[in-house]
Amino acid sequence: MNDSRRRRTAAATCLAVTGALLAAGCGGKASDSATQTSALKGAPVKVMVWDPEETQGSAQPGVRQTAQAYEKWINANGGIKGGPLKVLTCNEKNDPDEAEKCAQQAVAEKVVAVVGSYSLAGDRYMPILQKAGIPYLGGTGVSAAEFSNPLSFPVNGGTPAVFAAHGQQLVQDGCKKISGVRYDVAAAAVVSQFLTLGAVSAGGSAPKDIKVPLTATDLAPQVAAATKGSDCVSVIMGTASGLFVKSYVQSGAKTKLASVVGNLTPELAASTGGSGGPLEGAAITGYYPPTSDAVWKDFVQAAKGTDIDTSNGANETTWVAFKVLTEAAKKLPTVSSAALVQELNSTSGIDTGGLTPPLTWKASTALPIKGLNRIHNTTATELTIRDGKIAWAKQGSTFVDVRKMLTAMSAG
């Protein structure tokens, strides 16, 4: 693997907190939902979803699968304004050139929106969508352009919100000395910055920043450095977090582990002892309620019989984005890109059924930070691993808003 490919891989892995397509390239292929759409007589609503699959980087096939599951589910439940939802897909392969091709395909297909997609190449695809007036609804918060382009409508606060909330959660859980373990790349350095902001704002000390070389396979040195003098370790290595946990188990360390959703997963917990393993009780910070919560019942039902991981942050974001599309479209006489952009920018709050607080993208609710001004939802959720599953950290927990914390950082 060459250096540029390795950097893209590590960046994708580190930011897959929120940690794809089987068809090659931008085929614009619609999934088969003929049975559900046959009775729908309204105008079709055509959208596109892209993400990386069949790649050496951080593949996200669940994003495509979730979009297709939503398509099937909504069309079986009346469609959008009585018309069928049609989802076109494109594989961006963790390659900026391919992501640009996906955007060009979206324009050629005249889609209403690009919804709930995953790509690091926002600087390549957002200008194309902006020129065509096509909104990027949802996204997974792994590209800087998602937080600054006026045609981007993120449904969560991405890296800034979730890591600031994570640092705060750790301190409030009693972690006095924290270590953050992440890859030695610029994208992960940003993660460390917001983790530190959260911890310090909550009255704790700045976490120790432990960097992992891109080529490392034995993380014993990093485990030793992270656990020495620390009572909590946040593992921020995305789908490679298992490498750290493996070395951690071999070391015999007892320091409490933690992370944001998508790093320490239920699958990893199961492989390391389940409820009796080292991940039991780990503090997990997310964007949304755990999928055990009743607010996810439709997603859980739609995902039955598929390979969709309903606890994956990117998959959850895709479902939320489609919920927003459906709710916004209901209010439009005719569903078009221009009308959708106008509705999203002017609505007083879109109800996602409890998956998020009501979502608004009015100028008055934007986060007042240059480069992050498209962030409007600054909430996160405090979770844990209990009995090997992601659950609310405490009974009665709800969304935690870190807007004041982020705004104070900008001011000072």
Q: Is the pLDDT of residue 327 over 80?
A: yes
User: Residue 410: which pLDDT band, with cuts at 50, 70 and 90?
Assistant: confident
* Domain residue spans of the chain: 3-157+294-377, 159-286+380-411
Residue in the block written with tokens 């998020």: 356
For the segment 110-122, the average pLDDT, to the nearest whole number, is 95
- What is the rounded average pLDDT of the residues 118-138? 96
Q: What is the pLDDT of residues 369-401, one digit of tens each?
A: 999 999 999 999 999 999 999 999 999 999 999
Distance of alpha carbon 387 from the chain centroid: 24
Whether residue 140 is predicted with pLDDT greater than 90 in this model: the reply is no
User: For position 203, what pLDDT does the model report?
Assistant: 97
pLDDT of amino acid 11: 38
d(CA 77, CA 24): 30
Is 159-286+380-411 the same fold as 3-157+294-377?
A: yes
Q: Please give the distance of CA 390 from its chain centroid, rounded to a whole number.
A: 16
CATH ID of 159-286+380-411, from 3.40.190.10, 3.30.460.10, 3.40.50.2300, 3.50.50.60: 3.40.50.2300
Pick one of 3.40.50.2300, 3.40.50.11540, 3.20.20.370, 3.40.50.720 as the CATH number of 3-157+294-377: 3.40.50.2300
pLDDT at residue 187 above 80?
Answer: no
Query: Is 37's pLDDT higher than 80?
Result: no
Pairwise pLDDT comparison (25 vs 326), residue with the higher score: 326
The model's pLDDT over 295-308, given as tens digits with 9 standing for 90+, comes to 999 999 999 999 99
Query: Which of these, 244, 228, 316, lies nearest to 278 by C-alpha position?
Result: 244
Q: What percent of the chain has pLDDT over 70?
A: 90
Per the CB < 8 A criterion, the answer to whether 406 and 196 are in contact is no
Is pLDDT at 317 greater than 70 in this prediction?
yes
| The predicted structure's pLDDT at residue 291 | 94
Q: 42 pLDDT exceeds 60? A: yes
- Average per-residue pLDDT for the chain: 90
Q: What is the mean pLDDT of residues 271-289?
A: 95
Q: What is the pTM of this model?
A: 0.88
pLDDT in tens, 68-112: 999 999 999 999 999 999 999 999 999 999 999 999 999 999 999
Instruction: Name which residue leads in pLDDT, 33 or 148.
Output: 148
- Beta-bridge partner residues of 45: 85
What's residue 366's pLDDT? Answer: 96
Q: State the burial class of residue 293 (Cβ atoms within 10 Å of its Cβ: 0-12, 13-18, 19+).
A: middle
Q: What is the pLDDT of residues 207-233, one digit of tens each?
A: 999 999 988 999 999 999 999 999 999
Distance CA 283, CA 386 (A): 10
Q: What was the pLDDT predicted at 107?
A: 98
In this structure, the dihedral spanned by the alpha carbons of residues 56, 155, 131 and 24, taken in order and rounded to 10 degrees, is 30
Compute φ and ψ for 179, nearest 5 degrees: -115, 140
Predicted confidence at residue 226, as pLDDT, reads 98
Which band of pLDDT confidence, cut at 50, 70 and 90, is reported for residue 412?
Answer: low
The pLDDT score that the predictor gives to residue 38 is 63
Q: Which two tokens stand for residue 90?
A: 């494109």
Residue 5: the pLDDT is 43
